[in-house]
Amino acid sequence: MMHAATNEKNSNQNKPSFLVGIMHVTKDPWLSIAQEGQIPAWEQSSYKNFSVIYFFGISNFLTSRINSVIENLRWVRGRYASYAISYFLMFFLRPWLKSLPKYSLVNKDQSKIPAPALRVRIPELTATMRWKKLSFLKYFLEKSDAEYVIISTVSSLINFEPIVEFISNTKDIDQVIYAGRIHTGYDCDFTSGSFTLMNRRSASLLLESRRLIPVHVMDDIGFGTAFKKIGISPKRIESVDFDSMSQLEKVSREDLGKIAHLRFKSGQLNLRGDVAIMKQLISKLHG
């Protein structure tokens, strides 16, 4: 990612460095949100010691159809259908428990966005998100010099200052960091897939312990399960959802500056207003 001024870059050299990995999908509305809302927002960040890469899997009509069937059974068809698909995934995906799909950097023709992008060689399914994220973490450890990694979504903005403050308040600089927006589910507390912060040590431990990540639950829950089994609990960092302009108008600029992760959930799938709210929030925060 290019940053505007050399003096700004130098002033950030002694601050923590981040690699932000954005879970990417090469179709609308996510493409439009990335192109018109999120990507321009990175350049307006007052914090400069970070880079961003969008990562995605192999997507086509067949993968979209399979994903729709699986998630419909998981969430819509009732308890027994949910149990059935969970057991099916548990047995079908188990042979790939420790696998790490290969990845490659790709151009705009494949990613469809004007930003660095990583293509992971795995079908683009919600059920395979676990492997896609693990491959991205492998990229972070192998190809990046950043001290910290943030995993987030296209419909999110990151405010780095509260994250830097969280890191500076960490007593032991060598400890494992697993933090973000915390939820509870399955058998553990876990950080949301929309906002997770790790350092190099925690990312390395997760990769080494990937056999402990269940294959039949959502990826963020699975990561929480693995961390729990190796004795690591998540830490909370402030995260807020915005679903309307009116909600944003009620939050002061000072209070916005304290929120590390801002997630946008406006409208229906094909009629989202995320971009307009993103632009207004950026103007309010940095204007």
Domain range for 96 is 6-237
**CATH code where residue 128 lies:** 3.90.550
Instruction: Answer yes or no: is 158 within a domain.
Output: yes
Q: Is residue 197 part of a domain?
A: yes
What local confidence, expressed as pLDDT, does residue 214 receive? Answer: 94
Other Cβ atoms closer than 10 A to 80: 9
pLDDT in tens, 198-256: 999 999 999 999 999 999 999 999 999 999 999 999 999 999 999 889 999 999 999 99
Domain presence at residue 127: yes
Domain assignment present for residue 193? The answer is yes
Instruction: With beta carbons less than 8 A apart as the criterion, state whether 72 and 82 touch.
Output: no
pLDDT 10s digits, 103-113: 999 999 999 99
For the chain, give the percent of residues with pLDDT over 90.
80
Residue 176 lies in a domain: yes
- Is 242 contained in some domain? no
Q: How many domains are there within the chain? A: 1
Structure tokens belonging to residue 209:
């312990």
Asked if residue 223 belongs to a domain, the reply is: yes
Is residue 253 in some structural domain?
no
Q: Which two tokens stand for residue 21?
A: 């990995």
pTM to 2 decimal places: 0.91
Pairwise CA distance, residues 266 & 274, whole Å: 6
Q: Is 78 left (phi over 0), alpha (psi -120 to 50) or beta?
A: left
pLDDT tens by residue, 128-155: 999 999 999 999 999 999 999 999 999 9
Band of residue 273 on the pLDDT scale cut at 50, 70, 90: confident
Indicate if the pLDDT at residue 57 is higher than 90: yes
The pLDDT score that the predictor gives to residue 270 is 62
Tens of pLDDT, residue by residue over 251-265, are: 999 999 999 999 998
- The larger pLDDT score, comparing residue 267 to residue 71, is at 71
